Amino acid sequence: MTGIPFSFAFFSVLGPQSSIDSHFGPVNLRLRCHFPLVLPAQQQGEERCGMEIGGKRVQWKLGEPLFFDDSFEHRVWNDSQEERVVLLFDIWHPDLQQEEVEAVTDMFQYARQQGWLGGEKR
């Protein structure tokens, strides 16, 4: 998923005793993936580090991708004494048809060419 302003790829580090308040993405054109690289140690039944998506609590599992529609409200917490690190990236929503993906990409390319997105006008 490239060429549009709603696609990202980065490492997300959540420090000990921290959280990210409830928020949601601007569009449902994408699915967001959290690929956990470093997770705090947890005992069975503990939820010292986790995520809530659309009111449902989820847990990361080391090395297992977690895909979700980030247009749903979600929040993250880390009540442990260790960092949590995930590789975060976006993919096109699988419910979109190829023609829709192309139309969205073309729309943003046009907007960029017009200088509406900070790109240079041609």
In whole angstroms, what separates CA 120 from the centre of its chain? 28
Residue 93 pLDDT > 60: yes
Q: What is the pTM of this model?
A: 0.85
Pairing type for strands 74-78 and 49-53 reads antiparallel
- Quote the pLDDT of residue 83: 96
- Quote the pLDDT of residue 66: 97
Q: Give the angle subtended at the CA of 26 by the CAs of 35 and 66, to the nearest 5°.
A: 15
Maximum CA extent, the chain: 58
Taking residue 60's Cβ as centre, other Cβ atoms within 10 Å add up to 21
pLDDT, tens digit (0-9, with 9 covering 90-100), for 22-58: 999 988 999 999 999 999 987 656 689 999 999 999 9
Per-residue confidence band for 5, with pLDDT thresholds at 50, 70 and 90:
confident
> Contact 31/94 with Cβ under 8 angstroms?
yes
Q: Give SS3 for 104.
A: helix
Listing DSSP states for 29-56 in one string gives SEEEEEEEEE-----TT--SEEEEETTE
